[in-house]
A and B are shown apart, each in its own frame.
Chain A
Amino acid sequence: MDRFVDLAVSAVLLAGLYATMAYGLGLIYGVLRVVNLAHGGVIMAGAYLGWILHGWLGLDPYLAIPLVVGVTFLLGVLTYRVLVRHLPRGAAGGPASLLLLFGVWLVLRNAAYLLFSGNDQTIRTAYSTRAIPLLGSYVSVNRLAVLAIAVVTPAALQLLLKRTYLGRAIRAVAQNADSCTLVGIDVERIYTITFGLGTALAGLAGLLSATIFSFNPGFGSGELLKSFVVVVLGGLGSVFGTGIAALVLAVVEVFAILVLPSYLTAAVGFVMLVLVLVFRPGGLFGQRVLG
């Protein structure tokens, strides 16, 4: 029973991390229909931003959230305005956007190598290894904080999308951009803000990951892969689905150790991805557009 509780706690905490990493990717695809391959690079950039703010200014990583989110939002806005908006919309822009954003990722990664070298870095705070007892198990304070942010983030996104004019405009653009133009919505502005928001969410994920893992300029590739699995499982464009898919993936991966060797547990998620693509191509919660 103790073991079951341990595994369940591990799964929920891991789900928090996966969900945080995937929200940004899902949001950008849901509205712009662009698969943001630079997502991994921004996760890495978010980790380094947190590291700089902590190391140079002594700023706690959780207090650095507004700054990191702000800077990565601007990075997203810049990327959209300078690069992405010149791409053709729809299916024609697919391969071009993949290549372009993959290029952005490479630029970010190599810039980090130049600036910070390939050394592994970490953010260590007074509570980095602190844990609190919960249900007879120990829970890392950091992972608990990540979980809390993973729960708060979609709630805030949902509020933004449902209760504000901007959110309604984003949902409208996601459904039919041409009609939005007819009713006076500035579609380009909405795209810009959405790309900025998605990028900011990736930056946030990077910052939170940096409180748990060591990282180097190559950081983000594994995270991008997991984000893909979560977003596709949840149904591209579904914020709620992303959160649930993160939980499903984490539970399956963690509990797989009861029947599989440890090194195979990571593959379980990819097997699930293939099965979902074959039997339910829209994802577990697909066909819904942004809430």
Chain B
Amino acid sequence: MSTRNPRRPYAPLLLALAALAAAAALPGAAAAADKDKILIGATLPLTGAEARVGGFFKEGYDLAFEQVSKAGGLEVGGKKLPVQFLLLDDTSTQASAVSLADRLVNSDRVDFLLGTYASHLVEAQSTVAEQNRVPYVNGGGGATKIYKRKFKYLFGLISPVELLGGTLMQWMDEQQKAGKLPKPAKIALLWENTAHGKDFRKGVSDFAGKSGGAYQVVVDESFELNARDFGALLGKVKAANVDLFLVDAHLPDYITMHRQYVANGMCHKVVSYGARGGEKDAVKALGQENVNYVLSGVWWNAQLGTKPGPSQEFVKAFKAKYGGREPEWFQALAYESARALFTAIQQAGKVDREAVRAKLASMKMPSLLPGGTLEFKAEFGQQAQNSFVVQQNQPDGTSPIIFPKDVASAAGVAPNPRCAK
């Protein structure tokens, strides 16, 4: 015999739904309530294809959390709250990055999220943060398409790759105006077929388009990641007789392509592989003599730490923690992401996701990034727009900053002296 009320057949279902709704509301309520600690979660690619950089990001996060811990926590609403960091390995895969973020938010109940590394992982993972309304601060996703979605809870410290192409062109423009490069200059533009490569291409193409004919892109080709042969592509570049050889590539493709480039006896007045150039692995694989005068643009460089300021403090702290080793931009961006989140929590004065999100959206923080200030403007989808620093490999093994002038430690060389040999 059934005991159900025949007039209200949906009553149990409605009750269950009400219970679920109440349960779903709990994390937000918990976050808003007084807390005795702050729980911050993140995933990083500690294994898998991006493991190397994932390890660098971990170093940056660890340093930031260690500093807060030594200071006794964060000053929130007049009292010090300890900060606990929960870090998981997303194995460099989108599926893990998404499912682990979901676990951090809904099972571990973290208050805020820091981002993983690599654009494709950040793009997938940030949807979890947005759906759950958790502020997500990252220094590992640079593709503009991530921010064109106009997510409210997503904040990115890594400037768009478009700016990288544009900044490199600005330096070349100075050289052209000084009569060191021909006018018009013919460009071969090769880019990896990813969001990263497309943004780079746009930065260079836009600059060339607005130059009034000073630059002509005569080869414009993309290539697949981890390509095995660039012979045909380089043959096309050779036949086009260009002045500037501009490529956007990840490290393995930079090494493979540049080996073939050198073996083919090629040389151009300016050679750049985008953000790649002076990495120790590349120098080891290609030989110093073959990477001399390669131009690259990065989001941050330890040389920014030669002058007093946040970069100097960071470099000093990093070296002290990691046995004198010099940090690269990966660690700096991770460290600064954590610092931006800490600053927003302190300014909000409470462990509340909405309040911290609002502070992140309006903050203007002194930063170690080029330009010295960090802000997340809504018009750019809350992606920082700090300029890049351009560096150039020198025969003595250094890669000094050569642009912008206010932070440059050496003058750049153009045209490429290798071609005279």
A residues near B (Cβ < 8 Å) are 2-3, 6-7, 9-11, 13-14, 17, 113, 117-120, 122, 124, 128-131, 137-143, 212-216, 218, 222-223, 226, 253-257, 261-263, 265-266
**Distance in Å: Cβ of B282 to nearest Cβ of chain A:** 9
Q: Which of chain A's residues have a CB closer than 8 A to the CB of B285?
A: 122, 124, 128, 214
**Distance in Å: Cβ of B316 to nearest Cβ of chain A:** 27
Known contacts A261-B221, A262-B221; decide if A214 and B235 are in contact (CB<8 Å).
no
Query: Contact check: which of B92, B224, B265, B284 meets A122 at CB < 8 Å?
Result: B284
Q: Which of chain A's residues have a CB closer than 8 A to the CB of B287?
A: 124, 128-129
Is A138 a contact of B49 with CB atoms below 8 Å? no
**Bound CA–CA A253/B263 (angstroms):** 21
**Distance in Å: Cβ of A96 to nearest Cβ of chain B:** 26
Is A222 a contact of B228 with CB atoms below 8 Å? yes
Closest 8 CB pairs of A and B: A10-B231, A118-B51, A122-B285, A140-B263, A131-B263, A257-B232, A262-B221, A129-B262
Known contacts A10-B229, A14-B229; decide if A129 and B259 are in contact (CB<8 Å).
yes
**Distance in Å: Cβ of B263 to nearest Cβ of chain A:** 4
**Bound CA–CA A2/B28 (angstroms):** 68
**Distance in Å: Cβ of B58 to nearest Cβ of chain A:** 13
**Bound CA–CA A261/B222 (angstroms):** 8
Query: Taking the complex as formed, is B343 at the interface, i.e. its CB lies under 8 A from any CB of chain A?
Result: no
Is B264 a contact of A131 with CB atoms below 8 Å? yes
**Bound CA–CA A226/B229 (angstroms):** 12
CB 8 Å contact bits of B339-350 with A (1 = contact, 0 = none): 000000000000
Q: Which of chain A's residues have a CB closer than 8 A to the CB of B47?
A: 113, 118
**Distance in Å: Cβ of A52 to nearest Cβ of chain B:** 16
Q: Which of chain A's residues have a CB closer than 8 A to the CB of B222?
A: 261-263
Is A254 a contact of B232 with CB atoms below 8 Å? yes
Is A10 a contact of B235 with CB atoms below 8 Å? yes
**Distance in Å: Cβ of B218 to nearest Cβ of chain A:** 14
Q: Which of chain B's residues have a CB closer than 8 A to the CB of A139?
A: 263
**A-B contact list, 18 entries, CB within 8 Å:** A3-B239, A6-B239, A10-B229, A11-B231, A117-B55, A120-B251, A124-B284, A129-B259, A130-B263, A131-B263, A131-B264, A141-B263, A213-B255, A214-B251, A216-B49, A222-B226, A223-B228, A257-B236
Summarize B's interface: helix, strand, loop or mixed: helix
Interface size on B, residues (CB 8 A): 42
Is B233 a contact of A257 with CB atoms below 8 Å? yes
Least CB separation from A118: chain B residue: B51
Query: Taking the complex as formed, is B193 at the interface, i.e. its CB lies under 8 A from any CB of chain A?
Result: yes
Least CB separation from A5: chain B residue: B235
Is B223 a contact of A263 with CB atoms below 8 Å? yes
Most buried by A among B55, B227, B231: B231
Q: Which of chain A's residues have a CB closer than 8 A to the CB of B48?
A: 113, 118, 218
Is B232 a contact of A213 with CB atoms below 8 Å? no
Q: Which of chain B's residues have a CB closer than 8 A to the CB of A9?
A: 231
Is A213 a contact of B252 with CB atoms below 8 Å? yes
**Distance in Å: Cβ of B46 to nearest Cβ of chain A:** 9
**Bound CA–CA A153/B103 (angstroms):** 52
Least CB separation from B259: chain A residue: A129
Q: Which of chain B's residues have a CB closer than 8 A to the CB of A6?
A: 231, 235, 238-239
Least CB separation from A221: chain B residue: B226
**Bound CA–CA A228/B248 (angstroms):** 30
Query: Contact check: which of B228, B255, B263 meets A138 at CB < 8 Å?
Result: B263
Is A214 a contact of B252 with CB atoms below 8 Å? yes
Q: Which of chain B's residues have a CB closer than 8 A to the CB of A14?
A: 228-229, 231
Is B260 a contact of A140 with CB atoms below 8 Å? yes
**Bound CA–CA A213/B228 (angstroms):** 8
Known contacts A113-B48, A124-B287; decide if A119 and B281 are in contact (CB<8 Å).
yes
Q: Which of chain A's residues have a CB closer than 8 A to the CB of B221?
A: 261-263
**Bound CA–CA A213/B229 (angstroms):** 9
Is A113 a contact of B251 with CB atoms below 8 Å? no
Given contacts A9-B231, A214-B281, A265-B232, 18 further A-B contacts (CB under 8 A): A14-B228, A17-B229, A117-B55, A118-B51, A118-B92, A122-B285, A131-B262, A139-B263, A140-B263, A216-B252, A218-B49, A222-B226, A222-B228, A256-B232, A257-B232, A257-B235, A257-B236, A262-B233
**Distance in Å: Cβ of A98 to nearest Cβ of chain B:** 22
Query: Taking the complex as formed, is B418 at the interface, i.e. its CB lies under 8 A from any CB of chain A?
Result: no
Most buried by A among B52, B238, B255, B263: B263
**Distance in Å: Cβ of A13 to nearest Cβ of chain B:** 7
Is B228 a contact of A226 with CB atoms below 8 Å? yes
Query: Taking the complex as formed, is B256 at the interface, i.e. its CB lies under 8 A from any CB of chain A?
Result: yes
Least CB separation from B226: chain A residue: A222
**Bound CA–CA A120/B249 (angstroms):** 14
Query: Taking the complex as formed, is B328 at the interface, i.e. its CB lies under 8 A from any CB of chain A?
Result: no
**Bound CA–CA A156/B221 (angstroms):** 41
Least CB separation from A18: chain B residue: B228
